[in-house]
Amino acid sequence: MDTDATDDAMTKQVMRSILSDEEAQLVVLNGDLISGDAIQGSGSSEYVHDVVSPLVEINQPWASTYGNHDCQDNLDPSKDIFDQEKQYPTSLTRSDISGFQAGITNYYLTVYPHDNLNGPPALLLWFFDSRGGRNATNRDSSMTPGVRADWVDESVVEWFIEKNANLTSEFGRSIPSLAFYHIPAHAMFEYQEKGVSKKKTPGINGETVVSQGSGDTKYTGQDSAFMNALLNTTGLLATFSGHDHENDWCFKWDNNTVDQNITGTGLNMCYGRHTGYGGYSDVARGARQVLINQTDLENQVRTWIRLEDGSISAPVTLNATYGQDKYGMTFSDKRIQFSGATSAYDPSYLLFYIWASFWVLAFCRR
């Protein structure tokens, strides 16, 4: 039996199961869509279709960031993945600033109130390419082989700051926002070092955080500019990353966590949940769900993990007291991380919510 094909089939089953359990308006594929070190770029269109086929089947809109496995010697993320994604009408993935240093998936999406599509947006979704992997040589023989920087580049940070300022000026106020990127910021490593609380920040804590700038190089503050920009973005409610398959907790970066002389301002930072069967770890597969009520989106974000068996793990509310509130004990065993709940919130409220499923697909091994 072809193990890779079996893993991919199981991954698609996980996706279909969660899509049937939740009524998402948007799915975020937050990096490592394809294992570039396991395939040939010439067949990339087939693999991209495999990744998105459960979404295409039901006309489900999605948006992607790319991870370290999406750029390898024989996989060019621009030609082999992004150009393929653009062919699907339900793909919202863009590239507003790109280049050798910037990466590909740096862009934003606007989300409007359900009853006013002509007014200002209710929410901004920011997407960043944290890069990593290896320089792709399959499409450009002049490209020098080697390791690719694994942090959000400063050129992207400058674009982000300028674009956000322009949007604030255009709409006359700061728009609430969420941010997505594959490799976690180093502040998550600093928080983990202090100890993850099972009751105050529930979730799986199964491996050491491998943050931006620390994958193939010694960490020296490579993502400091990015972290500063996030902390200084008025209205940024939470950030979401993937990369570490055996972690799925959130934390509030407050003044108790100091990283590179940068003190947190209360920003919520979350992992997703490992969705794909192509990657390492024995955790039950699933996906983080993000639920936002447009009437109080500036005050709280509700989020939980929907597992492949339909159960829910670690439902929390990211609000002013997150990190202080105590939640019901959940099992810490990586295979039994269930709360026993079968639904998180009344689905009849759906019309009033912006609801997104957040996936870490990982058709790969990190």
Task: Summarize pLDDT for 251-303 with one digit per residue, the tens.
Answer: 999 988 888 899 999 999 999 999 988 778 889 999 999 999 888 889 999 99
pLDDT above 90 for 364: no
Q: How far apart are CA 297 and CA 68, in angstroms?
A: 32
- If phi > 0 it is left, if psi is from -120 to 50 it is alpha, else beta; for residue 131 that is left
Share of the chain above pLDDT 70, in %: 87
Structure letter (DSSP) for residue 336: -
Q: Kindly state the tokens that stand for 360.
A: 């870490």
pLDDT given at position 182: 96
Distances (CA, A) of 87 to 83, 141, 197, 338: 7, 26, 44, 38
Average per-residue pLDDT for the chain? 86
Put simply, whether the predicted model's pTM sits higher than 0.85 gets the answer yes
Domains and CATH numbers, the chain: 3-359 (3.60.21.10)
Between 113 and 220, residue with greater pLDDT: 220
pLDDT higher than threshold 80 for residue 6 = yes
Per-residue pLDDT for 335 more than 60?
A: no
pLDDT tens digits along 145-194: 889 999 999 999 999 999 999 999 999 999 999 999 999 999 999 999 99
Task: Tell me the average pLDDT across 57-82.
Answer: 92
Mean pLDDT in residue range 74-93: 93
Banded model confidence at residue 28, pLDDT cuts 50, 70, 90: very high
Q: Is the per-residue pLDDT at 354 higher than 70?
A: no
pLDDT of 139: 78
As a three-state string, the secondary structure of 197-266 is CCCCCCCCECCCCCCCCCCCCCCCCCCHHHHHHHHCCCCEEEEEECCCCCECCEEEECCCCEECCEECCC
Per-residue pLDDT at 144? 84
Place of tokens 């992992």: 271
pLDDT digits (tens, 9 = 90+) for 213-226: 998 889 999 999 99
Q: How confident is the model at residue 3 (pLDDT cuts 50, 70, 90)?
A: low
The model's pLDDT over 30-47, given as tens digits with 9 standing for 90+, comes to 999 987 766 665 666 788
